[in-house]
Chains A and B, each alone.
Chain A
Amino acid sequence: MPPGNDTVIIGIGEYQVGSMPMASIGLGSCVGLVIHDRKTGNGALVHIMLPSSHGKTDRPGKYADSAIEVLIKELTKKGSSPADLIAKMAGGSAMFKTFSGNLNIGERNIEVIRKLLNEKKIPVKGEDVGGCVGRTIFYYPKENGKLVIKKGDGTLSEL
């Protein structure tokens, strides 16, 4: 399913707010987080790479903590009320087993996102996370916030 011409591709560390279709290509340990407004049909997709910004502000979409803050702020600016927001997410896999470095970064991304959403009282209505496969996701705000997930093993699913 190739993204249509009107689909906005959200690269690593980027986010977008609106009602147009959005997509993120090839999530590994990264997480594609959707915060969707059930009332207005607006929403946001962010491509989160790391759990914590450690106070950095230049790429808010890159880190779980700053990403959730900026998404809620932008959606509120567009007229959303926090009570109407729901979340969906996909990604956070562990694709490598033996290299040095932080191999559980996907898992930690997911943990931090869950905790922060819980603090903000935004319910997670669907998730496809973990495992060891890559994922490409398509988010359709106007279709009730549908999230289509294509996996590296060839399967296709919908949240």
Chain B
Amino acid sequence: MKLTHVQTDALQELGNIGAAHAATTLSTMLSANISMSVPEIKVIDIAEIHKYVGDEIAALVLFQVNGEVKPGGYLLLYIPKTSVIRLTNAMLGLTDMDRELDEMDRSALLEVGNIMVSAFLDGTAELLNIIMLPSPPQLVIDMPHAAIQSILASQESEDIDEVVLFKTAMVSDAHNIQSSIFLFPNHPMLEDIIRRLEEILNPPI
């Protein structure tokens, strides 16, 4: 699979808009500034995924992307363990850093995930002029590589050899909270999104 420059740029713009919406909601929830990286878009061979996501335990809130787009892609909010504790503490006004993740963190993660991912999809849907909705979330606190690998393997009928990785980092300096949003469109969804983007860039006369 190869993306042309135009396609990469278009996807980057789409991601920028989605991520900006998500970052705004995070900023509101934390009452703090959020800095956001330029989205990275890469086509990665499955054998190389471990170079981008490792086995350091983190919280992952996962959503399938539904709506008026070909289904099968996933959006994923990734927050390292220490940042999860800081996030819950910041939201609830707590200070204890020396603790394990508990139910409170889990509900905070699901809540934050839902709000950020819904905002991300609102942004991209508005650009594409369609409806895009997240599925109910799944929360996993484990090795990110293991979770992503499991998702790719579950799309067995597609027998995936490479993935389009789409990543934006969002950081709150005030609270020292790091997070990233990953989008893993499957092939049909990617083609659908690219076709819609191309129509927007070159509208039929």
Residues of A whose CB lies within 8 Å of any CB of B are: 9, 11-14, 25-30, 49-50, 56, 59, 62, 93-103, 105-106, 133-136, 150, 152-154
| B94: Cβ under 8 A from any A Cβ | no
Complex interface residues of chain B between 122 and 174 (CB less than 8 A to chain A): 135-136, 138, 140-156, 159, 161
Q: How far is the CA of A95 from the CA of B135 in the complex (A)?
A: 17
Query: Which residues of chain B from 50 to 95 have any CB-CB distance to chain A below 8 Å in the complex?
Result: 50, 53-55, 57, 62, 64
Show 30 A/B contacts (Cβ-Cβ < 8 Å), sorted by A: A12-B46, A14-B47, A25-B54, A25-B55, A26-B145, A27-B149, A28-B145, A28-B148, A29-B149, A29-B154, A30-B146, A49-B46, A50-B153, A62-B46, A93-B150, A94-B150, A96-B62, A96-B138, A96-B140, A96-B147, A96-B150, A98-B136, A101-B151, A102-B156, A105-B150, A105-B156, A134-B146, A134-B147, A136-B143, A152-B55
> Chain A nearest CB: distance from B50 CB in Å?
4
Point out the residues of chain A lying under 8 angstroms from B151, CB to CB: 96, 99, 101
Q: Which A residues are in CB contact (< 8 Å) with B98?
A: none
Which residue of chain A has its CB nearest to the CB of B186? A101
Q: What's the tally of chain B residues with a CB closer than 8 Å to chain A? A: 34
A99 touches B149 (CB 8 A): no
CB neighbours (8 Å) of B147 from chain A are 28, 95-96, 134
Which B residues have a C-beta under 8 Å from some C-beta of A? Answer: 45-50, 53-55, 57, 62, 64, 135-136, 138, 140-156, 159, 161
- In the complex, which residues of chain B have a beta carbon less than 8 angstroms from the beta carbon of A9? 50
Residues of B within 8 A of A105 (CB): 150, 153-154, 156
Closest A-B pairs by Cβ, 3 of them: A26-B145, A134-B146, A11-B47
* Cα–Cα distance between A99 and B65 once the two chains are bound (Å): 11
CA distance A49 to B45 in the complex (A): 13
Q: Please indicate the chain A residues that have their CB under 8 angstroms from the CB of B57 in the complex.
A: 152, 154
Query: Which of A56, A93, A134 has a CB less than 8 Å from the CB of B55?
Result: A134
Chain A nearest CB, measured from B100 CB (Å)? 10
Instruction: Report if A93-B50 is in contact (Cβ < 8 Å); known contacts: A30-B153, A99-B154, A102-B154.
Output: no
Nearest residue in A to B157 (C-beta to C-beta)? A102
- Establish whether residues A152 and B149, one from each chain, have CB atoms under 8 Å apart when the complex forms: no
**Chain B min CB distance to A112 (Å):** 13
Which among B46, B64, B145, B154 is the interface contact of A25 at CB below 8 angstroms? B145
- Which residues does chain B contribute within 8 Å of A93, judged by CB atoms? 146, 150
Partner of A99, one of B138, B142, B145: B138
| Inter-chain contact B145/A134, CB cutoff 8 Å | yes
Tell me if A103 and B146 are in contact (CB < 8 A): no
Most chain A CB inside 10 Å of its own CB: which residue of B57, B135, B146: B146
Instruction: State in angstroms the CA–CA spacing of A94 and B142 once bound together.
Output: 12
In the complex the two chains form, what is the Cα distance from A67 to B133 in whole Å? 39
Question: Across the interface, which residues of B come within 8 angstroms of A59, CB to CB?
Answer: 161
CA distance A136 to B150 in the complex (A): 14
Q: Identify A134's interface contact among B46, B142, B153, B159, CB under 8 A.
A: B142
